[in-house]
Structure 1
Amino acid sequence: MKAHHSGKIRDKSTMVAASVAFLISTGCVVVWLYYFHSTEISRDPNAWGVFATYFSGILTPILTFGSVLWAVKSLKAQIQSSQQDREIAEDEVRFRHAVECLERGFNSIKTVVGPDQNHFVRLEWLTSARWLEAGAATAELLVTDVYKELYESHKELWKNSFRELINPSANPVLNQPSIYGQVGLGRHSILGLEPHSVYVVFAFMTWNRDDEIDEVEINIDDISPAYIGPRLYLQGFSRD
């Protein structure tokens, strides 16, 4: 896509340069005819040499300048395309690493959280939190919109995986503060889970306050009449 765009720029520059050259050439002929229209066409080669010198003296510097401008524009387009290609290539590496960090964060804590697992192994929670932070730091370096959006979509998928794994509703013991460590010992206590790791994991799992789904307008006309129940339920929420 980028190469096609730069090609269109070069084609446009070429057309502009050709149009300018044509107009200048036509202008030279018009000026010559204006001053020498009453002069008969000469059969003297020397006269035609003077005529050619006239055209050459006017057109050569202008066309040379135009060629330089075209070359500069073409070079700028190539440099810009090269920079964009490099940004995309670098973002692809960053994106893959950021998503891999989220996956590793999940896999780290998955080994200790589960029905038959010891939920609170300090090292595994620390490792998980560090991977999540590494992923977030790498995502901050993304510069292209497409990879930013891709990362956010993958991030939401991994958030759901964390929520399904660490689910206080399914496992009420997760709502007891004492199981994370003795309350009131301070942030530097070596007993229980490291508090920063607990914060990072649960903050990652938390729903964003600004949820895009809140911006969706409900219109029951978009739902098939075959779905009677949902249509009746949504009537009170549908826009007028």
Structure 2
Amino acid sequence: MRRVAVEASTKQQNTVKNWAPIAIIALITCTTAVAAPWLWQFSASGLSSSTSDWGVFGDYFGGVLSTVISALGFIGIIATIKTQSETISTQLSGIAQEKEIRDDEVYSKQSLECLNEAYKKLLSPDGGLYKNRIAWLESARLIVIAQNLAEKIRSDSMRYTYKAAEKLIRSKFSTILNPDIHPETMQPSYFCEMDWARGKEGKGQEPIEKTSVYVIYTFASWQSDDQDELDSIKDIIDFKHINQRYFGARQFLEHG
């Protein structure tokens, strides 16, 4: 709020500075326009000793200048109203912008918390991949909620920061779902087979819901429209930037 008030005050001061020279020039011009005909007509005449002549002179200047001054005053009122209107608009715009920033921070924070919680839902007590229908459903729901919150972020800078944090969490999903770590997920039966041991106890494990599988694996997958930050570096690779201690890497970059 303080920044908004300072901006509004600065803008108002600048407006006053811009209008002041115009008002002074207008006053001088009007005064000259009023005085010039009188001076032209009576410049050759001496000063009158008659009070009635001075009365006529005063009535002339007073009548004409009062109209000019009234007009300038009216213009000043309009300028003041316009300045105040611009100041209020600036303040309202600043308040809206600050509210948007606060909202973006909340959306970003809550979205990232949902993604982290969604990842935890997939972890079994021993740190592996949790094969549980409910856990997968809850994880998928949290991912969808996080994505909906992220769509509400308007600021480009906040969205860029959010995307960077989102990629870190996505890499965690990619790791826990990596078939090299959990080769059992390479088979469709992993997602649909029953846990017969629990079934004998009347606690049969139901197959994992297809929707949850789709949501989770889609989030963990690199999409074709995702920008790769390394693309901007491919054309500027210079092995000389690598310390000579890393001889193998330098040779690889130099000779391929």
Q: Normalising by structure 1, what TM-score?
A: 0.80
Mapping of residues 160-175 of structure 1, within 5 Å: 160-175=171-186
For 2:119, the equivalent position in structure 1 comes to 106
Shift of 1:31: 2.5
| CA-to-aligned-CA distance 1:179-237 (integer Å, 9 cap, x gap) | 1115xxxxxxx931001111111110111323332531421348525355445444589
* AA aligned opposite 1:226: N
1:201 matches 2:216: yes
RMSD (Å), alpha carbons: 3.0
Which of 69, 75, 81 is the aligned partner of 1:56? 69
For 2:109, the equivalent position in structure 1 comes to 96
1:76 matches 2:89: yes
For 2:237, the equivalent position in structure 1 comes to 220
Instruction: Give the secondary-structure state (helix, strand or coil) at the position aligned to 2:122.
Output: helix
| CA-to-aligned-CA distance 1:50-85 (integer Å, 9 cap, x gap) | 465244223111111111111111111111111111
**CA 1:66–1:197: 2 relative to 1, 3 Å:** same
In structure 1, how many angstroms separate the alpha carbons of the residues matched to 2:147 and 2:19? 48
CA contact (8 A) 2:170 2:220 kept: yes
CA contact (8 A) 2:137 2:209 kept: yes
In structure 2, how many angstroms separate the alpha carbons of the residues matched to 1:170 and 1:37? 102
Which of 14, 17, 36 is the aligned partner of 1:15? 17
**Structure 1 gaps, min length 5:** 183-189
In structure 2, how many angstroms separate the alpha carbons of the residues matched to 1:155 and 1:139? 10
Shift of 1:26: 3.3
CA contact (8 A) 1:6 1:77 kept: yes
In structure 2, how many angstroms separate the alpha carbons of the residues matched to 1:235 and 1:222? 6
In structure 1, how many angstroms separate the alpha carbons of the residues matched to 2:223 and 2:12? 45
In structure 2, how many angstroms separate the alpha carbons of the residues matched to 1:105 and 1:121? 13
Instruction: Give the secondary-structure state (helix, strand or coil) at the position aligned to 2:154.
Output: coil
| CA-to-aligned-CA distance 1:101-136 (integer Å, 9 cap, x gap) | 111111111236844x6x311001111111000000
Identity %: 22
1:134 matches 2:145: yes
Instruction: Give the secondary-structure state (helix, strand or coil) at the position aligned to 2:161.
Output: helix
CA contact (8 A) 2:12 2:87 kept: yes
